[in-house]
Amino acid sequence: MAKSSDWFVYILQCADDSLYTGITTDPERRLIEHNAEKSVTKYTRARQPVAMVYQESVKSRSLAGQREAQIKALSRIQKQALIEENL
């Protein structure tokens, strides 16, 4: 079980089938924000609704940012494999 101080790296699948990667301390709240009428990100605001298809817990914001960069560097096929491994 994740501690409240943990950070999460997540992947969203958008309505246009694109994938969005981000970090947060609260995945449930962040998903609600991404699906809000005034979404926190311009990218997801134009591609709603979005669904969280992947998340992993990391110990710090620094590690979350590093992992986010690693995931963003993956190809779409590699991201899909990561998502499928964790279903």
Note whether 17 and 53 are within 8 A (CB). Answer: no
Please write the tens of the pLDDT for every residue from 14-68: 999 999 999 999 999 999 999 998 888 899 999 999 999 999 999 999 999 999 9
Note the pLDDT of residue 86: 84
Number of H helices, E strands in the chain: 4, 3
Which residue segments constitute the domains of the chain, with CATH numbers given?
7-85 (3.40.1440.10)
- How far is 80 from 87, CA to CA, in rounded Å? 11
